[in-house]
Structure 1
């Protein structure tokens, strides 16, 4: 019995020693969320902060119910949400259709990389509010400028991620494909694109997050409906309960889309992190 307990066993990497960051953090995240909500109840219930600066959870919930039924800022919450979803998703899919091919071309062609890289790297760190006035001057104040502003914010991280994915492809895989008679297009589609998918999905996750953060700036341009417009309009009247309610809704939507992209990534790239 003692011999069996003391007998050496083969070590399995990530199990015996533990891989970096291994294990689920769901319970920790849930506990953190519960603690923050409890602290919110405590701070507002004890009156440590004036309601103007931090309304109670009950006040925010009441505003949520009011927005969902009667509406705030001239529209219901569903109407605001649908307007914002249309702008963010429209810009996201437009960026996905353009930025990923552009990023791949930048990775495989030095001329295209030399032409586009300076432009993307120049405007990428600029806040959307910096070039918002130019977009208004060039495109006016209709619906397209709002979508275009979000598109520009999403385009850069997606293109850079796709380019980085191409540059990370193993050269041995490319040489092996050419040795077996593959054409250049076949190498791009069947070797480079598949190997770059993890980076592309990372760019998609970053892009959708940037799109939601740009939403408020986009809906400053003569909007009459949308979550960002609702937040800005409520702030003008110091309705902090509506502001916080709008922020929570935007955060939940952004988090939901991030989870959706993660699910799609796990389905399409089951080998990620295993090879």
Structure 2
């Protein structure tokens, strides 16, 4: 019998020649985190850095337990976390409800693009601290200015991503849909929006990250609770263990939201990278 020249399953497209960036990187990410934590233990245990500049992991963990049970800055960690989550999610959901439709309209309508493009491009590079005083003058020092500041920071990248996704749709797909009798509304809903969804989700991921980075600035305004407020309050007293604990909590929730959006992207946009 002639020997079989081909054994096993056919090779997955891209694996024969090695597609750039292909492969699972989760283990590498895990080992990177392990090495960084080990270095943190080593540096603090050996006393190479003073605790006021770099507290040990034990001190940060003890501060986490204290903040969770007894509280810090007149509130427990759960209360600080819930206050910040409400502000970030409020700004994010408000941006989703407005930035994505406006971004899509900017991509399909020149009048809408002409109105919103200069406004977005003007304020997008500005740091939130630059227009924070104006937000305070306009809306006072209540809860709404904090959410509004986060909303403004998220709005620009989300709208630009939606517009970019619409503008990247292949003209051949649009012509093919017209040739099969599709109306303008069907073109937008069934062709343009579906093709733009990957970039819209990318904008959402960028937006939620920007929202968390803006949180500290938003909670500078007459706040009594919040993770950003907790970090700022601890910094005034040089409580570096509380500062690092707050940073880790903020980073944890930012990572969780990003992973959630990645999962939703895989579920809702299975055609990404395949068309």
Report the TM-score range of the alignment, normalised by the length of the smaller protein.
over 0.9
1:212-242 CA distance string (max 9 Å, x none): 0000000001011000000000001110000
CA distance in 2, matches of 1:156, 1:12: 39
Instruction: Report matched runs for 1:94-109 at 5 Å.
Output: 94-109=94-109
CA distance in 1, matches of 2:239, 2:66: 13
**Structure 1 residue 190 displacement after superposition:** 1.2
**Structure 1 residue 111 displacement after superposition:** 1.2
Q: 1:243 to 1:10 in 2, by over 3 A?
A: closer
SS at match of 2:273: coil
Q: TM-score, normalised by structure 1?
A: 0.96
**Structure 1 residue 18 displacement after superposition:** 1.2
Instruction: Report matched runs for 1:73-84 at 5 Å.
Output: 73-84=73-84
Partner of 1:186: 186
SS at match of 1:182: coil
CA distance in 2, matches of 1:11, 1:219: 53
**Structure 1 residue 175 displacement after superposition:** 1.5
Deviates more, 1:57-66 or 1:10-19: 10-19
CA distance in 1, matches of 2:177, 2:54: 60
Q: 1:10 to 1:70 in 2, by over 3 A?
A: closer
SS at match of 2:23: coil
1:109-158 CA distance string (max 9 Å, x none): 11111111011011101100011011011111000000000000000000
SS at match of 1:66: helix
Partner of 1:115: 115
Partner of 2:198: 198
CA distance in 1, matches of 2:46, 2:30: 24
Q: 1:2 to 1:230 in 2, by over 3 A?
A: farther
SS at match of 2:28: helix
CA distance in 2, matches of 1:10, 1:245: 49
Shift >4 Å, 4+ stretches: 1-7, 9-12
RMSD: 1.7
Deviates more, 1:246-255 or 1:112-121: 112-121
Partner of 1:172: 172
Partner of 2:90: 90
**Structure 1 residue 3 displacement after superposition:** 6.4
Partner of 2:68: 68
**Structure 1 residue 274 displacement after superposition:** 1.8
**Structure 1 residue 33 displacement after superposition:** 0.3
Q: TM-score, normalised by structure 2?
A: 0.96
**Structure 1 residue 6 displacement after superposition:** 9.6
Q: Which runs of 5+ in 1 are unaligned?
A: none
1:216 correspondence with 2:216 = yes
Q: Which runs of 5+ in 2 are unaligned?
A: none
**Structure 1 residue 252 displacement after superposition:** 0.4
1:267 correspondence with 2:267 = yes
The count of residues paired between Structure 1 and Structure 2 equals 274
Partner of 2:146: 146
**Structure 1 residue 268 displacement after superposition:** 0.4
SS at match of 2:153: helix
